[in-house]
Structure 1
Amino acid sequence: MKPSPVTTTLVAALAAVTASTLLAGCSSGSSGGAPGSAAAGGTVELEFWGWAPGYDQAVAKFNASHPNVRVTFGKTASGSKGGYTKMLTAAKAGNAPCLAQVGYETLPSFAAAGALTDISRYTGDAKSQFAEWTWKQVTIGGQTYGIPVDTAPMALFYRKDLFAQYGITTPPVTWDEYAADAAKVHAADPTVYLGDFGNDAYNYAGLAWQAGAKWFGTGNDQWQVSLDSAANKKVAGYWQDLLDRKLLKTDPSYDPSLYADLTDGKILSDVNAVWNAPTLAASVKSGAGQWAVAPMPVWDAANPAYGNDGGSATAVLKGCAHPKEAAEFATWMSTDPGSVGDLITVTGIYPAATSGLANPALGKPDPFFGGQVIFDVFRAASAHIATDWQWGPTMTQTSTDLGDGLGRAGTGGATLPGVLADVQGKTVAGLKQQGLAVAGG
């Protein structure tokens, strides 16, 4: 398929802007030498930065079975909490690691910053091993910058015992039912809430994705930004109504206060992605056996559509001296049955590799969720997730602006429709600042 002129221009123009700084250091600090060459002793050394639990286990397995390549995993803060800034700073300084965990949503921003290495020549038949839409997430302007790891279908995590206590006999199927259940629970006990409205921009993106409320698109050699479209206003209006009626707790996303309220039974459920399962199990240990997973509520029960919140690639950063071996490791990590099994169990991924969908780890009952085979829920949801969602090249800033706005909306300092209009304006301005054409701008 011919690459979009917009994405081609994005990569070419912005890479040129940063080329002078990136070329000052042409090799990764732990991966020195000419491309394709081995370090002294015949062993290629690769450094890999990421934050997800379980990645270190995949690295250990790879090192044990690949004596000529050694990968060292360095734990960083999560991308949104400083990991991406560290990676970009290192790329600009010329001392970045070869490999990095980069979310699909942020990959275009890294490409725009000229911080990635094209590994197309080293991927061979890897493309055929992955869901088509995930390969598109790592390919920009015809250049492939990493290997997909996972997708992130969303679901409803909920306390079975507390749902029963408040008279909720079945999890809400639709968002209308969710609102009714939220009112029912809060009326029974004003200190208890069905759910939480946090400040995670990407969780909110999953809600928008589910509703077909796109944020970015391209056409006529221009970027199109639509965060305040009618579809987005529908989603914002729904959640604003629940906030206005004080039917949601507003703990910050992934904050200790959230897990304390989940532990104490003050929040009964969490609409979140598949990778939330191990996080929840580790953070709300006293609820083991009482939690369950159900499909996330939908807008139309007759035509269910679900959201996606996340998904990462193993990206190869600018200056990597051994892109061939880096691509080899990245592909292995996402396709080797042992590696994928660990990532499913420890990290909570839903595999992007098609072979991973037959991994036995997906069929194991989970004790924290009362013996439920929770991945059955995510497998069913994946068949009803739109695959045409597109991320923009300024998501690092867009997500920060949106997260700040969601926090203000939760405390009553802003309204969600107002937040979307504000982020729309800032995103358009950010694209223009980078010299990109924007429709209507």
Structure 2
Amino acid sequence: MRSHTQRLMVCAASFAALCMGLAGCGSNTASTGGDSGEVVNLTYMHRLPDSEGMTLVKDIVAKWNKDHPNIQVKATKFDGAAQDMIKKLETDVKAGNAPDLAQVGYAEVPEVFTKGLLEDVTEEAAKYKSDFAEGPYSMMQVDGKTYGLPQDTGPLVYFYNQKAFDELGIKVPKTKDELIEAAKTAAASGKYIMDYEADEAGNIFAGLANASDPWYTVKNDAWVVNTNGSGSQAFAETFQELIDNKATLTNPRWVPSFDASLQDGTLIGNIGAAWEAPLFKDSAGDTGKGDWRVTQIGDWFGNGTSTETAKTPESWNEFYGGQDVMKEFATANDNMVAFNYMPGYSAVSAAMQEAADKAADGSGKVADVFPVAQQTSIDTLKNYGLSVAK
């Protein structure tokens, strides 16, 4: 696992809510129990929360160590911000005492690669490629080489209140036209089946807009940037029409007003990542308990219909009406498209949010978000000293 400069292998996660076993992150020698009979000691740094109802890392590690006496894992939790963990990893790699494995976000993989922190594990990772959906696996690659394995995924799905939909006489829309019509019908009764979330511009906006055209590719050692393709335009057109018709809320996702819109029954549907399921439940409280469901995103943005089997936690059953939401997430996971991030993507995300905020308050348009992403991407790559294709 360690080279002379002691680079590390990453286990990437979009958000650490659903954790895969550590077996999925080990090398071939580790997973087969080792050939020499000597004990292999692996260190793993992560940011996984220890919230109630979650499978704790310490419990996973304890089970692994018990079942694999020749391969012992020591896990260390980093409690700081994601960017601070990257700084620590950079310092530790240079000092020669970095962990063997580290959890980083998918968007951070190109950055830590550019900083020279990662070990090329293409040959070993290929042995596990069939265990993962193509989209998450591809995000572990830079220029055709693989630097880790997915730890979890965040496929986008649609959360909706079935009872509220039935009362309004609407169904989950399958096309853009159906979405606009259903949103107008709901809005006329003071209900909303969508929320335009400017603070998720770098995540959900990008994920949906990227469905038709890859934003970032590497060709002949130069980055090719294409953030304003047909997928982005389709996304902008759909949400602009919703905004113009006052048929969507414009609450940022991570503010109290979002939770309030769920609790007062105003917001009855929304796009979110699979890992939001328990957070969505907590935000809503008792409002709509048992009425909420999860389904695939329709062909609203020209994106088509939107591993190991996971069991739906008992604590979710009451809120989601007994639906096996994990099965729905598995379907969404298989539908994920590849999104290859670029180094310094956080700067792009921030610029996108600023432009998205203007669309929310009417001082700009949704379509403005993607040219901003294009120029910021190019500028950021050049600031990193990287070549950008013309």
Q: Tell me the TM-score normalised to structure 2 length.
A: 0.77
The answer as to 2:374 corresponding to 1:424 is yes
Shift of the 110–360 alpha-carbon distance from structure 1 to 2, 3 Å rule, reads closer
> Aligned equivalents of 1:419 and 1:136: distance in 2?
25
Aligned partner of 1:157 in structure 2 is: 159
> Aligned equivalents of 1:54 and 1:75: distance in 2?
17
Q: Which amino acid aligns with 2:106?
A: Y
Shift of the 133–242 alpha-carbon distance from structure 1 to 2, 3 Å rule, reads closer
> Aligned equivalents of 2:214 and 2:140: distance in 1?
19
SS state of the match for residue 151, structure 1? coil
CA shift, 1:271, in A, is 0.9
> Aligned equivalents of 1:360 and 1:227: distance in 2?
34
> Aligned equivalents of 2:155 and 2:7: distance in 1?
38
Q: Which amino acid aligns with 2:326?
A: F
Q: Which amino acid aligns with 2:271?
A: V
Identical pairs, percent: 28
Aligned partner of 1:76 in structure 2 is: 79
Per-residue Cα deviation, 1:138-181 (whole angstroms, up to 9, x for no partner): 2334543222223333221111121122222x211222211111
Shift of the 47–381 alpha-carbon distance from structure 1 to 2, 3 Å rule, reads closer
CA shift, 1:105, in A, is 2.8
Q: Which amino acid aligns with 2:349?
A: S
> Aligned equivalents of 1:290 and 1:69: distance in 2?
45
> Aligned equivalents of 2:296 and 2:283: distance in 1?
22
Q: Unpaired runs of 5+ in structure 2?
A: 9-29, 31-38
SS state of the match for residue 107, structure 2? coil
Aligned residue pairs, count:
346
Map 1:225-374 to 2 at 5 A. 225-286=225-286, 287-299=288-300, 305-307=304-306, 353=307, 356=308, 359=309, 361=311, 366-374=317-325
> Aligned equivalents of 1:383 and 1:93: distance in 2?
37
Aligned partner of 2:41 in structure 1 is: 44
Q: Unpaired runs of 5+ in structure 1?
A: 1-21, 28-35, 37-41, 308-352
Give the conservation status (yes or no) of the 8 Å contact 2:7–2:116. Answer: no
Q: Which amino acid aligns with 2:276?
A: N
SS state of the match for residue 294, structure 2? strand
Give runs of ≥4 in structure 1 deviating > 6 Å.
Answer: 362-365
> Aligned equivalents of 2:242 and 2:138: distance in 1?
36
The answer as to 2:194 corresponding to 1:195 is yes
> Aligned equivalents of 1:26 and 1:239: distance in 2?
43
SS state of the match for residue 107, structure 1? helix
Give the conservation status (yes or no) of the 8 Å contact 2:175–2:298. Answer: yes
Q: How large is the RMSD of aligned CA atoms in angstroms? A: 3.3
> Aligned equivalents of 1:383 and 1:119: distance in 2?
24
Q: Tell me the TM-score normalised to structure 1 length.
A: 0.69
Give the conservation status (yes or no) of the 8 Å contact 2:143–2:218. Answer: no
CA shift, 1:197, in A, is 0.9
Find 1:390's aligned residue among 320, 340, 358: 340
Shift of the 259–48 alpha-carbon distance from structure 1 to 2, 3 Å rule, reads same
Give the conservation status (yes or no) of the 8 Å contact 2:210–2:231. Answer: no
Shift of the 369–144 alpha-carbon distance from structure 1 to 2, 3 Å rule, reads same
Give the conservation status (yes or no) of the 8 Å contact 1:227–1:421. Answer: yes
Shift of the 435–214 alpha-carbon distance from structure 1 to 2, 3 Å rule, reads same
Shift of the 399–60 alpha-carbon distance from structure 1 to 2, 3 Å rule, reads farther
